[in-house]
């Protein structure tokens, strides 16, 4: 099966439409902050022949696969092994003038990570409980389950999984690990299912939110998003654009907040005019969060939860510079 068949980029045409006005000039630079298997980047390189892309990913497997996929454009792609909150350093090192024209974030777990069973991301497949997006560093999900106390497990299940049975699941895990280590996804699923009332099981798979919470904890995803979005906004030139695809509410809330703050005047209330230095630095390009079309959701189930937000830089930090 080809890479095109394995990975279908989410909301590709809308991403291209929103970023295109910023990428049509000579020597434009786009940062794909979540390169994955390179599907979005491939489309941008094909459609904008003068474009250069800086592709970031923490997953070394993703960088290898993207390198193969994007080999025809090798002279127009720079690959950087980093978490996306390293975007400012990547831009400073690889973009002329330290500013870029477009930035794309496709947040959350990638198709590669979900589909490769031994990564441990999917509760439907028995595999070692790893869940690290960068397998070269950091603690695994099995480490979390082995070392966190009941209170900490409950906290991450509540905060990152919005799980109503967080306390019940935390107690079940503590009891189970006293008998044997919890090292495989199948073990964890069995523990969660046994701890879930039958009525709740009928409402959806009991492991879904716990697996999400573990993944977010292992990869410090929300902390990375909180750092990455402001850093990305600061890396755009005037006229540059950012598009962010989020797949769960916790990420989307952060993105919504950061874009709202950047597109709001900082002038004190009651002034008869807005001083230029207080004018918004960005303007929102979409109203609220856009969803994938019904047709795309039917064709690509991974597009169902996506929320798209986008903005354009209209002013520099220095007083009053506008596009």
Which phi and psi (to 5°) does residue 56 adopt? -105, 140
Burial 250-273 (b: 16+ CB within 10 A, else e): bbbebbbebbeebbeeeeeeeeee
What distance in Å separates the CA atoms of residue 105 and residue 229, rounded to the nearest whole number?
9
What distance in Å separates the CA atoms of residue 276 and residue 274, rounded to the nearest whole number?
6
| Placement of tokens 């005047």 in the chain | 265
Bridge partners of 82?
Answer: none
- Alpha helices by DSSP H, 236-309: 249-262, 294-299
Q: Which of 11, 110, 5 is nearest to 56 (CA)?
A: 110
DSSP conformation letters of 63-92: HHHHHHHTGGGGGGEEEEES-GGGHHHHHH
Q: Would you call 167 exposed, middle or buried from its count of C-beta atoms within 10 A (0-12, 13-18, 19+)?
A: middle
Evaluate whether 292 touches 10 at the Cβ level (below 8 Å): yes
- At residue 202, the 3 state secondary structure works out as coil
Evaluate whether 182 touches 129 at the Cβ level (below 8 Å): yes
Mark the binding-site residues for S-adenosyl-L-methionine, compressed into ranges: 38-40, 57, 84, 106, 113
Mark the binding-site residues, compressed into ranges: 38-40, 57, 84, 106, 113
């Amino acid at each position: 099966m080809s890479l095109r068949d394995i990975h279908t980029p989410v909301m590709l045409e809308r991403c291209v439409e929103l970023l295109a006005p910023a990428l049509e000039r000579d020597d434009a630079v786009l940062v794909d902050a979540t390169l994955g298997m390179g599907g979005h980047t491939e489309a941008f390189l094909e459609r904008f022949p003068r474009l250069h892309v800086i592709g970031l990913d923490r997953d070394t497997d993703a960088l290898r696969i993207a390198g193969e996929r994007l080999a025809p454009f090798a002279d127009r792609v720079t690959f950087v092994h980093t978490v996306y909150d390293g975007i400012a350093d990547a831009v400073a090192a690889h973009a002329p003038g330290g500013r870029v024209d477009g930035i794309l974030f496709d947040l959350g777990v990638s198709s590669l990570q979900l589909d490769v069973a031994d990564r441990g991301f999917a509760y439907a497949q028995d595999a070692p409980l790893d869940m690290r997006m960068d397998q070269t560093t950091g603690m695994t999900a099995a480490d979390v389950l082995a070392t966190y106390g009941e209170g900490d497990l409950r906290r991450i299940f509540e905060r990152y999984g919005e799980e109503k049975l967080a306390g019940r699941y935390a107690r079940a895990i503590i009891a189970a690990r006293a008998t044997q280590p919890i090292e495989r996804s199948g073990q964890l699923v069995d523990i969660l299912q046994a701890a879930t009332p039958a009525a709740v099981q009928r409402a959806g798979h009991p492991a879904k939110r716990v697996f999400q919470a573990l993944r977010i904890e292992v990869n410090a995803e929300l902390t990375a998003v909180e750092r990455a979005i402001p850093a990305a906004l600061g890396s755009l030139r005037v006229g540059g654009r950012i598009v962010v695809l989020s797949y769960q509410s916790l990420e989307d809330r952060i993105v919504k907040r950061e874009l709202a703050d950047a597109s709001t005047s900082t002038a004190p209330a009651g002034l008869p005019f807005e001083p230029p230095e207080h004018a918004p630095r960005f303007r929102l390009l979409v109203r609220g969060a856009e969803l994938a079309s019904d047709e795309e959701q039917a064709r690509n189930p991974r597009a169902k939860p996506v929320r798209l937000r986008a903005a354009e830089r209209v002013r520099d930090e220095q007083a009053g510079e506008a596009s």
